Structure 1
Amino acid sequence: MTSLLQIVLMLIHVAKWIVLAHVIMSWLINFNVLNLRQPLVWQLWNGLNRVLEPVYSRIRRILPPTAGIDFAPLAALLAVFAAEIVISNNLYAFG
């Protein structure tokens, strides 16, 4: 059981880095540091959006609408951190 929880914890770490990469990339695109006309940037951005948009859309249904600020990535990141804390605190209870 401990090995299974360690695998889940590793997947949570990957999810955390994917959300952080999406947030940082969105900032770089909005500040015109990255250009979506470049094929590599477009492919990365499109791939991250395809992975994260189903998660963000469910969170956006719960959160109240705000004026121009999207809190869905922040809520997703907080959920990932919370899941990481819960699993890491209970990891050795199953060992």
Structure 2
Amino acid sequence: MVVMRLLELYCWVLLVSCIFVNLHAFGILDSRNRLVWKIGVFLERITEPVLAPVRRMLPMPGGIDFSPMVVLLAIQYLLEPALMKLLYSLAVG
């Protein structure tokens, strides 16, 4: 169950990162502010190792980055059910 909670937490981090990137891109957040810069670096370090390989495989139509959505969908519909089956089989068997 700890793994499931970590995946859920990572999904929230991905969503926060997407919101943060958009707020920065539209000039709402100022990266010259030290706190904003630190949060941005933290979110990038946490999400980039997972998003970068997906970004390399996907085209960017119109400059829109769909890699966070692909990762979120993969976690929700591929990884979580597989982990649930594995945990259930370990618990029952």
- TM-score over 0.5 (shorter chain): yes
Please, what TM-score do these two structures have when normalized by structure 1? Answer: 0.79
Select the residue among 81, 85, 88 that pairs with 1:92. Answer: 88
Q: Rate the CA distance shift 1:7–1:47 in 2: closer, same or farther, 3 A.
A: same
Runs of 4+ in 1 over 6 A off after TM superposition: none
* Matched ranges for 1:12-27 at <5 A: 12-27=7-22
Please, what TM-score do these two structures have when normalized by structure 2? Answer: 0.81
1:49, CA displacement in angstroms? Answer: 0.8
* Alpha-carbon displacement from aligned partner over 1:21-55 (angstroms, at most 9, x marks no partner): 10111121122221111111100101111121121
The percentage of counterpart residues that share the same residue type is: 36
Structure scoring higher RCO (CA < 8 A, sep ≥ 6) equals: 1
More helix by share: 2
* Alpha-carbon displacement from aligned partner over 1:54-85 (angstroms, at most 9, x marks no partner): 21110012212422111111111111212234
C-alpha separation between the residues in 2 aligned to 1:75 and 1:68? 16
C-alpha separation between the residues in 2 aligned to 1:90 and 1:50? 29
Query: What amino acid maps onto 2:80 in structure 1?
Result: E
Residue equivalent to 1:53: 48
Count of residue correspondences = 90
The answer on 1:30 being equivalent to 2:54 is no
1:86, CA displacement in angstroms? Answer: 3.7
